């Protein structure tokens, strides 16, 4: 027995400090359970704080205000259409409809709970094949979720600790009784009298897990660097299975975040700010709000493939063109130096992508972002030069290689327009990312982790991505809907240590 190990005891241990973990901890604490939350990052955030920020739900105050008649059954049916689109008919037939039912019936209460904490939503917005507008976008951005939910966790008395890496589960007689962890570098054993809740996210940043399920994306980086499949490993070691491990969102080209967040991004999401944003979005013309709204959202945007169809090329940091931009350049970019590239185009394309119908990116709140929006809100991404040499200097790439790449593109046969005369433009750096993975541990309707034979592993629950249990979540807003909903319900069940019927709360 190691005398240097710090030993503690509590009712519930939650592993992971994103949206699902914080929510599970809050609702366990509200049931009277002493709760310790462990987050291995230096701050509470998870994938929730890096997301676009939408939640899709029916029967919300926003739908009622807009006069929209909708219900969970319609939502249930429409999610099936997304599942077919994502995985095809055969795979979609294996979708976990029991968990889908739990999601659509309980997510309205999740939205109202978040609103009660101070979260402000704008919407609902349409997204076919949803038959009604159901997508609610958070204001000013997804950091608001963590801000308000972490504040609520502190208020109810959750003991949340960062720099806390869980290394293994403690198991006695087949029951999970706690975790072994390193907290600020010191070994700890935390005994859980009632349960351990896994909220460790997906495995989008683990080359080994991706190589196992989807080798083509093994070397593509994940957006959330801490998502390396810890909880999946813990579950598999006890006999759980991972369902839909092959389903990956990405790789997607996305612009790199700014080295230093703007002053606007550092503003706390107080109701005065978010309420004013929502009121303005509802009552003022969109054009008048573009500079303000885009200051919050351009961190998260992806370039449209139409840029390449109109003649733009993609080069790496050495100025070299390395792939056919119309044939999965997002895969090839992961093999380039530092895995980054730049989108290069001429002035004709620049003018074209300054107005509808040619946009650089879709953008929450204002629908579309054009080149001038990037020039204004992300000058670190925009490069311009009267000559190829000037453009190369702005980008920080070798001019001879860039000139060669442009000349080779212009000389190649094909239907794509050549890069014409200057001035020349570029956007970047851009990187290829895995946004998230859909594979989750098998769970029952009460979010208990189950073995391959369907039997629950006593004392172990899973929420969010690690607890998806074969539930397909294609479509904007379903992953966050599942994070907060599974967190709410699992926290209650774990605290009660029961296996009863899941109810709305």
Q: Lowest-pLDDT range, 191-195, 362-366, 465-469?
A: 362-366
Specify which residues 452 forms β-bridges with. Answer: none
pLDDT value at residue 367: 60
pLDDT at 359 over 50: yes
Instruction: Say which residue the tokens 């973990």 belong to.
Output: 21
Instruction: Look over the chain and give the mean of its residue pLDDT values, rounded to a whole number.
Output: 90
Query: And the tokens for 345?
Result: 């185009």
Where do we find the tokens 């929209």? 68
CATH 3.40.50.620 fits 6-250+435-496, yes or no: no
pLDDT digits (tens, 9 = 90+) for 127-160: 899 999 999 988 888 889 999 999 999 999 999 9
Residues 6+ apart with CB under 8 A from 20: 46, 48, 199, 463, 464, 465, 467, 482, 483, 484, 486, 487
pLDDT tier for residue 369 given thresholds of 50, 70 and 90 = confident
Tokens 């920080």 belong to 396
User: Which residue spans of the chain are classified as CATH 3.90.700.10?
Assistant: 285-431
pTM of the model: 0.89
- Taking only the tens place, the pLDDT of each residue in 443-495 is 999 999 999 999 999 999 999 999 998 999 998 899 999 999 999 999 999 99
Compute, in degrees rounded to 10, the torsion defined by CA atoms 371, 374, 375, 376: 120
Q: According to CATH, where is 3.50.50.60 located in the chain?
A: 6-250+435-496
Radius of gyration of the chain (CA): 24
Q: How confident is the model at residue 501 (pLDDT cuts 50, 70, 90)?
A: very low
Query: Residue 265: what pLDDT?
Result: 61
Q: How many residues does the chain have?
A: 505
Please spell the DSSP secondary structure of 150-163, one letter per residue: HHHHHHHT-EEESS
Find, among 358, 344, 359, 333, the residue nearest to 409 by Cα.
Answer: 344
SS3 of 331, please? helix
Over 60: is that where the pLDDT of 279 sits?
yes
Kindly report the CATH number that applies to the domain delimited by 285-431: 3.90.700.10
End-to-end CA distance of the chain: 43
- Per-residue confidence (pLDDT) for residue 94, from 0 to 100: 87
The pLDDT, as a whole number, for residue 324 is 94
CA pair distance 474, 128, nearest whole angstrom: 12
Show the DSSP H helices in 378-417 as ranges: 388-395, 399-411
pLDDT band at 93 (very low <50, low <70, confident <90, very high): confident
* Count of CB atoms situated within 10 Å of the CB of 324: 15
């Amino acid at each position: 027995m190691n005398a240097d190990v710090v030993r503690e005891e509590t009712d519930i241990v939650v592993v992971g400090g994103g949206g699902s973990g914080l929510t599970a901890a809050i609702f366990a604490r509200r049931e009277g359970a002493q709760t310790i939350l462990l987050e291995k990052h230096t701050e509470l955030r998870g994938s929730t704080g890096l997301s676009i920020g939408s939640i899709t739900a029916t029967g919300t105050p926003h739908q009622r205000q807009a006069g929209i008649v909708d219900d969970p059954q319609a939502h249930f049916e429409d999610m099936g259409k997304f599942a077919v689109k994502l995985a095809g008919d055969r795979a979609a037939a294996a979708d976990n409809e029991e968990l889908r039912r739990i999601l659509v019936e309980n997510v309205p209460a999740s939205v109202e709970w978040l609103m009660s904490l101070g979260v402000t939503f704008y919407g609902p917005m349409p997204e076919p094949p949803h038959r009604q507008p159901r997508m609610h976008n958070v204001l000013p951005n997804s950091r608001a979720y963590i801000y308000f939910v972490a504040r609520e966790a502190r208020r109810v008395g959750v003991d949340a600790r960062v720099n806390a890496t869980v290394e293994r589960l403690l198991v006695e007689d087949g029951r999970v009784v706690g975790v072994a962890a390193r907290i600020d570098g010191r070994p700890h054993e935390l005994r859980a009298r009632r349960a351990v809740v896994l909220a460790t996210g997906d495995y989008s940043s683990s080359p080994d897990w991706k190589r196992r399920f989807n080798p083509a994306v093994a070397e593509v980086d994940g957006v959330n660097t801490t998502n390396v499949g810890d909880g999946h490993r813990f579950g598999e070691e006890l006999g759980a299975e991972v369902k839909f491990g092959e389903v990956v969102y990405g790789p997607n080209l996305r612009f790199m975040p700014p080295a230093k967040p703007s002053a606007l991004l550092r503003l706390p999401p107080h109701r005065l700010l978010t309420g004013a944003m929502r009121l303005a979005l509802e009552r003022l013309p969109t054009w008048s709000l573009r500079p303000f709204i885009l200051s919050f959202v351009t961190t998260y945007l992806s370039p449209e493939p139409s840029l390449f169809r109109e003649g733009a090329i993609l080069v790496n940091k050495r100025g070299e063109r390395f792939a056919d931009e119309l044939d999965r350049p997002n895969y090839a970019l992961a093999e380039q130096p530092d895995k980054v590239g730049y989108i290069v185009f001429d002035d004709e394309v620049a003018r074209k992508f300054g107005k509808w119908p040619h946009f650089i990116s879709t953008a929450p709140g204002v629908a579309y972002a054009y080149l001038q929006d990037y020039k204004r809100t992300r000058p670190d991404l925009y490069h311009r030069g009267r000559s190829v040499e000037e453009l190369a200097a702005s980008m920080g790439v070798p001019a001879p290689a860039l000139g060669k790449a442009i000349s080779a593109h212009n000389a190649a046969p094909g239907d794509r327009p050549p890069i014409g005369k200057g001035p020349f433009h570029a956007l970047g750096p851009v990187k290829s990312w895995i946004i998230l993975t859909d594979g989750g541990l098998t769970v029952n309707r009460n979010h208990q982790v189950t073995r391959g034979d369907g039997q629950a592993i006593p004392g172990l629950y899973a929420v969010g991505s690690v607890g998806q249990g074969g539930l397909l979540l294609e479509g904007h807003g379903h992953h966050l809907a599942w994070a907060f909903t599974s967190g709410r319900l699992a926290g209650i069940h774990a605290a009660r240590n029961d296996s009863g019927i899941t109810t709305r709360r």
